[in-house]
Structure 1
């Protein structure tokens, strides 16, 4: 019965999701999430959708792991990344109200040119690629050990089912399923916390040393530095910034930040519980294992809800990037766009899961899920001035390149350090304490360099540079 139970949960998840999915949509519903009558989605619907799509399966696992490693500051630090909603919300609100832009690609073409826009989109594509395999992996691990038959079968089943409704319904299907997935995820989290809090209250929070506490605070500072650039490379978030009117969008984003950030911080309690009771590392599996089958199934359901919502939104964003953003289409979508988008969904479903087949030498099989966040997050530090300082009228392509390329270089070099086990950045760059001290130094100094490059580009740019294109 225990071996079959996760598959029962998967079947229930598929049934509920399919029940709320629209069977057929037109092109505006597919890309813009409109109702059949053409109305824009409301404040609450966009908020719930944005919230659950950022409650990644890998993120709630990371939050629990960080709380296990650093105590209370670990979970709080990961929660600080959800300030991204406020940063992105305000930036997109200004782009829409002051420039009339209909997407980030539309803005980039108008401000910096087609080449710059496509460089941005390639970076975004890398992010979307990472979202597929990393979330699929987290969900599949609840069905069996990595590499087992159950692991591969569940990964294939989850992917195929998500493709089926993302292909047919696009953004409208994503919004409608996200609403139900959000409610169910919070209900299940409430069940978990109701079980864990009495024990944690009697045992108390885990004690950590001063050095561990300082290392956790270092991670908090890293999150605060990255939050100024991190949201802009995630179209799962930013695409939702153009679905409803600007003022409603801003309200949706602020509410989504509270909901998803609160969920992540509350879920990190699992890591605190595991640490207090001396359970093994990887609390997302060790805690439910300590309580038996029912708790394991609850965790399995949470992972399916969070991971599924992220993957279907990823597929939808890939469809939009391929069919509309690459050519900076800001007009009304048509049937040709929808056909191209649907082909892109199938392509990313296959390509995005290829890293699951990668076998590393040594005792690791497949890529680590934290890599999907740390690699892309550092590479995009140059996006902060590009999207937060567009009011500098002389800033144009030169400013973009002087911000974009240094940030990308810093991220690539840091990735090489991590995976090749070589030292490139001098230890003197480290700020703070612990394993994230060098990351903090690289990101802070890198952000300053990228911002200085952007300002230098504005100072050197010809004054006749066209600042914007009129909105269509």
Structure 2
């Protein structure tokens, strides 16, 4: 019932036919750029991932209020990305991040970046589909797989026809509905939480939560740049309007995530089992479960359709560093790329049949992917340095990627790679914090070394890569 209502509501606002400027840049029928609030609401809902909602409640359940604050800090990414891209657009005149990378660091560097964010987009498909489908049945059950198929095919259908324009319009409606549902949920939960009080956690849990807060504060310097779902929306309206939209989006999405963390606090206060985004609504019965189903469908669906849109733009425009005018007839290329990512992006869901349920934990997938791209912080935030060219990119990009891959192997294969002495803070995220801080320092030093010692070599490399 909830799934049917979600599909009908979304299909109602979806355009049936669009031009290239609408499919890739979200323009209206008259050719006007999307307005401040339309971009803000779209950016906000696309960052209220289904997996982020689950993460927020899990972290507040584990670490108390510091867990809620820690995950909310990630939403300062809107401020970092908004300000950085504002200056890239106003001072450099760039039409996208790949365009900037080609002009500043060379086409090879731009393609390395696109491959990296391609993996990010694949991760968004399976992780959000999984969280949404778990509300329809246990992992591996018939109802679970039915939800996977229906959610994927429906989202494919309207992303295929409408692209970015469909994503923006459905996002606006989804934002209004999801905040209304959250308001109803909080109206039910807050009186009970007020009578119990915010649950206390012991010192070790509180300190572990503070460590996670520090990790989030470090990762927001690089994290937003490897998410095209976010950054694509930074180039579809005027720079000043975009900046306003991103500030509004940060408040909307960060506020939503913090308020949703109350679910975790409620579960802890009442001694409910772990996984509060499931156990709390289950404790209230069918109506509450249906509202949570709606929240997860709205948040996950908005992220997946935006992921499909970004995949289309990456393949049809960004890979060739082309503008809308040059590639106006390449909608078909984008649509075929969407179809490919539908298949490849959902393959990790089959890991349930691999005996030991391989497949990354959802929170771990977020923190590890943030570690892999730590080198993007100097690449974008320090791009104004005149000597920063190809060498700077490589000396920042590769150390971060290598450290992130090693950390992923260590986490998922349960093998020791990094010494415990690297850990900073306490708890399960202490080693992640140490690797991120020391790794960011290495990446930044490498970037400066490339800018100061090898600028001429870099100029030749750019010229060669752009002549290919």
Quickly name the TM-score band, shorter chain normalised: over 0.9
Q: Are 1:402 and 2:395 counterparts?
A: yes
Corresponding residue to 1:287 among 276, 280, 290: 280
Equivalents in 1 of 2:358, 2:119: separation in Å? 21
1:272–1:363: structure 2 CA closer, same or farther, 3 Å change rule? farther
**Other-structure match for 2:204:** 211
Q: Are 1:259 and 2:252 counterparts?
A: yes
Alignment of 1:317-328 (within 5 A): 317-328=310-321
**Other-structure match for 1:439:** 432
Corresponding residue to 2:117 among 124, 131, 140: 124
Contact 2:235–2:242, Cα closer than 8 Å, also in 1: yes
**Other-structure match for 2:268:** 275
Q: Are 1:178 and 2:181 counterparts?
A: no
Q: Are 1:78 and 2:82 counterparts?
A: no
How far apart are 1:393 and its partner, in Å?
A: 0.5
Contact 1:356–1:367, Cα closer than 8 Å, also in 2: no
How far apart are 1:23 and its partner, in Å?
A: 0.7
How far apart are 1:207 and its partner, in Å?
A: 1.2
How far apart are 1:367 and its partner, in Å?
A: 4.0
Alignment of 1:62-461 (within 5 A): 62-332=55-325, 334-359=327-352, 364=357, 366-461=359-454
How far apart are 1:370 and its partner, in Å?
A: 2.2
Alignment of 1:52-63 (within 5 A): 52-63=45-56
Alignment of 1:6-21 (within 5 A): 8-21=1-14
TM-align CA RMSD:
1.5
Contact 1:131–1:372, Cα closer than 8 Å, also in 2: no
CA deviation string 1:207-253 (max 9, x = no partner): 11111111100000000000000000000000000010000000000
Contact 1:355–1:367, Cα closer than 8 Å, also in 2: no
CA deviation string 1:259-279 (max 9, x = no partner): 000000000000000000000
Contact 2:390–2:459, Cα closer than 8 Å, also in 1: no
Equivalents in 1 of 2:89, 2:80: separation in Å? 14
Equivalents in 1 of 2:173, 2:359: separation in Å? 32
Equivalents in 1 of 2:277, 2:419: separation in Å? 35
Equivalents in 1 of 2:93, 2:200: separation in Å? 52
Contact 1:380–1:408, Cα closer than 8 Å, also in 2: yes
Equivalents in 1 of 2:457, 2:140: separation in Å? 59
How far apart are 1:331 and its partner, in Å?
A: 4.7
Give the paired residue count.
462
Contact 2:316–2:331, Cα closer than 8 Å, also in 1: yes
CA deviation string 1:129-152 (max 9, x = no partner): 000000000000000000000000
Runs of 4+ in 1 over 6 A off after TM superposition: none
How far apart are 1:369 and its partner, in Å?
A: 2.1
Equivalents in 1 of 2:329, 2:111: separation in Å? 21
Long gaps (5+) in structure 2: 464-468
If the length of structure 2 is used for normalisation, what is the TM-score?
0.97
Long gaps (5+) in structure 1: 1-7
How far apart are 1:364 and its partner, in Å?
A: 3.7
Contact 2:17–2:162, Cα closer than 8 Å, also in 1: yes
CA deviation string 1:100-130 (max 9, x = no partner): 0000010000000000000000000000000
Equivalents in 1 of 2:131, 2:157: separation in Å? 20
1:124–1:431: structure 2 CA closer, same or farther, 3 Å change rule? same
If the length of structure 1 is used for normalisation, what is the TM-score?
0.96
How far apart are 1:465 and its partner, in Å?
A: 6.0
